[in-house]
């Protein structure tokens, strides 16, 4: 039998990159398998002037290991741009530069194997058996960080085509919107960036741009200090102690802390709206439609969007030549876990039950351990799918794998008392 790895990873996205970076130098035989030929990170969304919504200090390693050589600051120094970066006084890092940082880390890590697609995984009790085209690999622990898939509403799936598509790969498309009526569905950051690029004629000058959102307005990202407390280890620890119903309620309330539009993007949009409306009256027509649900999408020479106006209940009809779906991503187990996916414990709502170290609950007393990253929003809170806690999340996994506290993951409590046992009303005897 071949040597058994201590740790294997499926996928080489940011979450598994953080784990790989924090494992470097440790007595742990590890290998990460990535189906792509080389590293890339959402290349289809690399639009002009797209900016990160997360601080560069919340990189792959800094929050738990600030002297780690795979930090963003070390990347700047290695690229000889540290002073230029500081003097530029940017409000945020561009998505292009952060992707370059991630690629820089990936190229330096010796245990990443590209062009290696894991076809299936078997649970052998004390280890996992991974089947790849080039052979089999055995590992005692397995970490899946394969990302999410584009979410396409059911009432749109039957019309997917080069003129009706999800935005996930828009930057890679040979798009021409000249003289066309374009409808953008979705009121989050991606929708905002695409509307801005349409109005800046990045793909030609459209005749009309219609922006449709279920939200009551085109709402900003909630990045205020107290909301940012939701993206801390202390909050995650408290969130895990609350019941399923309370967690679901909080996740709904916190939506804009992760899915709102960056204020700088909103400002650029409004300024562009002003120019088109008052200064360039013969240019692209603009229609903003918040508070609308897409009830039905049909096509007969043109696309017809049947909308429900949530403000007054009216049924409305919108026509377009092209549909761009900015409808987000959804959690999914990768196909390679098909043989063991049914074994994973779930709560009453069908959501995966992940433990503190992001490992799945498997039946029986297993010596092997399966970690699932980017799949624990319902178990760990709003921060779980976000980059904000990449380093901390990875440190939790690494500590679990090594069986010791290599990294300090017990952060200070912060200013907000999410729960205070000492103030709990005493029980009457």
Q: What is the mean pLDDT of residues 79-88?
A: 98
Would you call 192 helix, strand, or coil by DSSP? helix
Contact 51, 98 (CB under 8 A): no
Would you call 410 helix, strand, or coil by DSSP? coil
Token digits for 305? 């969007």
End-to-end CA distance of the chain: 63
Q: What is the mean pLDDT of residues 11-22?
A: 98
Token digits for 351? 């959501």
| pLDDT confidence of residue 426 | 54
Closest CA to 320 of 157, 170, 165: 165
Separation CA 167–CA 175 (nearest Å): 12
Please list the residues that pair with 69 across neighbouring strands: none
Task: Indicate if the pLDDT at residue 291 is higher than 90.
Answer: yes
Helix (H) or strand (E) run with residue 400 in it: helix 390-402
Query: 341-385, pLDDT tens digit by residue?
Result: 888 988 888 889 999 999 998 877 677 899 999 999 999 999 999
Mean of the per-residue pLDDT values of the chain: 94
Contact 372, 352 (CB under 8 A): yes
What are the Cα distances from residue 318, in Å, to 102, 160, 246, 284, 292? 41, 18, 38, 16, 11
What are the Cα distances from residue 176, in Å, to 171, 204, 321, 385? 12, 6, 12, 33
Any idea what DSSP says for residue 353? -
Separation CA 92–CA 79 (nearest Å): 18
Contact 20, 34 (CB under 8 A): no
Of the given ranges (294-298, 365-369, 370-374, 424-428), which has the lowest mean pLDDT? 424-428
Query: 232-281, pLDDT tens digit by residue?
Result: 999 999 999 999 999 999 999 999 999 999 999 999 999 999 999 999 87
| pLDDT confidence of residue 427 | 53
Please list the residues that pair with 9 across neighbouring strands: 32, 143
Burial call 414-428: b when 16+ CB within 10 Å, e when fewer:
eeeebeeeeeeeeee
Place of tokens 């967690």: 247
Q: pTM higher than 0.85 for the full model? A: yes
* Backbone phi and psi for residue 359, each to the nearest 5 degrees, phi listed first: -90, 150
Place of tokens 């590890």: 30
What are the Cα distances from residue 175, in Å, to 22, 95, 193? 40, 21, 15
Contact 282, 271 (CB under 8 A): no
Separation CA 207–CA 182 (nearest Å): 8
| pLDDT confidence of residue 428 | 46
What are the Cα distances from residue 50, in Å, to 47, 210, 262? 6, 21, 10
Q: What is the mean pLDDT of residues 88-92?
A: 92
46 burial (CB, 10 Å; 0-12 / 13-18 / 19+) is middle
Q: How is the chain split into domains, by residue range?
A: 4-148+332-402, 150-221+260-325
Tell the CATH topology of 150-221+260-325: FAD/NAD(P)-binding domain (3.50.50)
Q: Does domain 4-148+332-402 have CATH number 3.50.50.60?
A: yes
Closest CA to 121 of 131, 112, 113: 131
CA 227, distance to chain mean position in Å, is 18
Query: CA torsion angle for 89, 90, 92, 97 (degrees, to 10)?
Result: -110
Q: What is the mean pLDDT of residues 206-217?
A: 98
* Backbone phi and psi for residue 149, each to the nearest 5 degrees, phi listed first: -115, 155
| pLDDT confidence of residue 429 | 43
Query: 166-191, pLDDT tens digit by residue?
Result: 999 999 999 999 999 999 999 999 99
139 burial (CB, 10 Å; 0-12 / 13-18 / 19+) is buried
Task: Indicate if the pLDDT at residue 147 is higher than 90.
Answer: no
To 5 degrees, how large is the angle CA 145–CA 151–CA 152?
155
Task: Indicate if the pLDDT at residue 28 is higher than 50.
Answer: yes
Helix (H) or strand (E) run with residue 194 in it: helix 189-199
363 dihedral zone (left: phi>0; alpha: psi -120 to 50; beta) = beta
């Amino acid at each position: 039998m071949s040597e058994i790895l201590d740790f294997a990873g499926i996928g080489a996205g940011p979450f598994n990159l953080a784990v790989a970076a924090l494992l470097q130098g440790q007595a742990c035989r590890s290998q990460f398998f990535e189906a792509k030929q080389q590293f890339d990170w959402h290349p289809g969304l690399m639009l002009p002037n797209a900016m990160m919504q997360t601080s560069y200090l919340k990189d792959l390693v800094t929050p738990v290991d600030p002297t780690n050589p795979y930090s963003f600051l070390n990347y700047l120094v290695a690229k000889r741009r540290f002073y230029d970066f500081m003097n530029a006084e940017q409000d945020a890092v561009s998505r292009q530069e952060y992707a370059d940082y991630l690629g820089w880390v990936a190229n330096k890590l010796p245990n990443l194997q590209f062009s290696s697609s894991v076809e299936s995984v078997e649970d052998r009790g004390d280890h996992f058996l991974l089947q790849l085209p080039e052979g089999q690999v055995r590992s005692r622990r397995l970490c899946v960080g394969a990302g999410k898939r584009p979410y396409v509403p059911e009432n749109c799936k039957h019309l997917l085509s080069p003129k009706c598509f999800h935005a996930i790969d828009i930057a890679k498309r040979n798009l021409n919107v000249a003289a066309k009526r374009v409808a953008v569905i979705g009121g989050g950051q991606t929708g905002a960036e695409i509307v801005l690029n349409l109005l800046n004629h990045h793909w030609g000058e459209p005749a009309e741009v219609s922006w449709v959102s279920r939200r009551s307005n085109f709402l900003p990202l909630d990045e205020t200090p107290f909301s940012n407390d939701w993206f801390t280890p202390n909050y995650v620890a408290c969130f895990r102690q609350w019941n399923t119903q309370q967690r679901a309620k909080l996740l709904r309330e916190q939506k804009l802390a992760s899915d709102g539009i960056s204020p700088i993007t909103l400002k650029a949009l409004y300024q562009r709206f002003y120019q088109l409306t008052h200064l360039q009256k013969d240019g692209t027509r603009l229609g903003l439609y918040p508070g609308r649900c897409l009830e039905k999408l049909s096509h007969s020479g043109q696309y017809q969007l049947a909308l429900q106006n949530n403000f007054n209940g009216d049924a409305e009809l919108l026509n377009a030549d092209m549909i761009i779906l900015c409808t987000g991503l959804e959690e999914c187990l990768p196909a390679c876990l098909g043989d063991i996916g049914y074994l994973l414990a779930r709560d009453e709502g069908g959501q995966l039950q992940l433990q503190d170290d992001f490992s799945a609950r498997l039946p029986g007393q297993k010596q092997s351990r399966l970690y699932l990253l980017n799949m624990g929003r319902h178990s760990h809170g709003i921060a779980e799918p976000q980059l904000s806690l990449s380093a901390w999340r990875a440190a939790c996994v690494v500590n679990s794998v090594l069986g010791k506290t290599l990294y300090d993951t017990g952060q200070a409590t912060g200013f907000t008392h999410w729960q205070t046992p000492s103030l709990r009303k005493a029980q009457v005897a």
